[in-house]
Amino acid sequence: MLITCKDITKVYVTGETETHALRDVDCTIRAGEFVAIMGPSGSGKSTFMQILGLLDRPTSGTYVLDGTDTATFDDDALSRLRNRRFGFIFQSFNLLPRTTVADNVALPLLYNRDERLSAAQSHERVMAALAAVSMEHRAAHTTNQLSGGEQQRTAIARALINNPDVLFADEPTGNLDSKTGLQVMRILQRLHEDGKTIVLVTHEATTARHAERMLSMVDGRIVDDAPVADRINARDEDSLRK
Ligand SMILES: Nc1ncnc2c1ncn2[C@@H]1O[C@H](COP(=O)(O)OP(=O)(O)O)[C@@H](O)[C@H]1O
Ligand SMILES: [Mg+2]
């Protein structure tokens, strides 16, 4: 099993206020799955994704990744895992402004201490990642010159640069119109077909239906965990709109 979570809780403490963002969450995710975490705003989706992505620690409970309890990892091991095994995609793209597409995509290579790539090898990797999202022709543009969809595709290329096993996407279509959002879902579906494990966070049931399996969250709990019966194929949808 790739991911096994048991009794995960997360309590945020701000001043006198305690927010129980996650309550006794149990979950397993196999390598190669495409899972959507769906639920209304405030139900704990992003909190859960941040814990799964090792961006944050649970207040209690265990998270076993590939057979190892993640509580045993120090900060160095956590940042290495995030850099090498995970890719992250966010609603707001999180790109550096006034910086080229190629330099944005290359950024995680700087923190990759396991592989020492020459400038030529780095360039090759960047162009391959951009090709995966059809963005080679924009490599030299700065990110503020791009449309929203192009910015998100750049962010996906950046997430792919170290060839991670798992992609975490938190509301990746949230800032995009429906047609552009569908292009992003199509890219995620293709990456899944190519073997990536994908964890998608969304508050939209339609977006979640692009995944294979849907975890539904309400008030910090997983209330349903089921295969997506009426799965949407983004390629079919896209051709219907043309
Ligand atoms: N850093 C934080 N500090 C305090 N409360 C937070 C923090 N992040 C999230 N919360 C609270 O935790 C709950 C779950 O938030 P979140 O995981 O962002 O939900 P979702 O992604 O489903 O909208 C909400 O009540 C939110 O206000
Ligand atoms: Mg959220």
Q: Are strands 86-90 and 34-38 parallel, antiparallel or unpaired?
A: unpaired
14 Cβ below 6 A of ligand 1: yes
Please tell me the distance between residue 87's alpha carbon and the centre of ligand 2 in angstroms: 17
42 Cβ below 6 A of ligand 1: yes
DSSP 8-state secondary structure symbol assigned to residue 99: S
Domain hosting 15: range is 3-241
- Could you tell me where the DSSP H helices lie in the chain? 45-52, 75-85, 101-110, 119-132, 148-160, 178-193, 205-208, 234-241
Which atom of ligand 1 is least distant from the CA of 43? 22
**pLDDT of residue 20 exceeding 70:** yes
Residue nearest to atom 18 of ligand 1 (CA): 46
Nearest by Cα to 90 from 208, 218, 199, 228: 199
List pLDDT tens digits, range 170-223. Answer: 999 999 999 999 999 999 999 999 999 999 999 999 999 999 999 999 999 999
50 Cβ below 6 A of ligand 1: no
Mean pLDDT in residue range 98-108: 97
174 Cβ below 6 A of ligand 1: no
Residues 162/108, Cβ–Cβ less than 8 Å: yes
Mean pLDDT in residue range 141-159: 97
Residue 242: predicted pLDDT: 56
Residues 8/208, Cβ–Cβ less than 8 Å: no
Among 47, 49, 52, the mutation site with the greatest number of ligand 1 atoms within 8 A of its Cβ is 47
Please tell me the distance between residue 42's alpha carbon and the centre of ligand 1 in angstroms: 6
Number of domains in the chain: 1
- Dihedral pair phi/psi, residue 133, rounded to 5°: -120, 20
Which atom of ligand 1 is least distant from the CA of 14? 4
Give percent of the chain above pLDDT 70: 99
Burial classification of residue 67, based on how many CB atoms lie within 10 Å of its CB (0-12 exposed, 13-18 middle, 19 or more buried): exposed
Q: Tell me the CATH number at 141.
A: 3.40.50.300
Residue nearest to atom 24 of ligand 1 (CA): 42
- Per the prediction, the chain carries an average pLDDT of 96
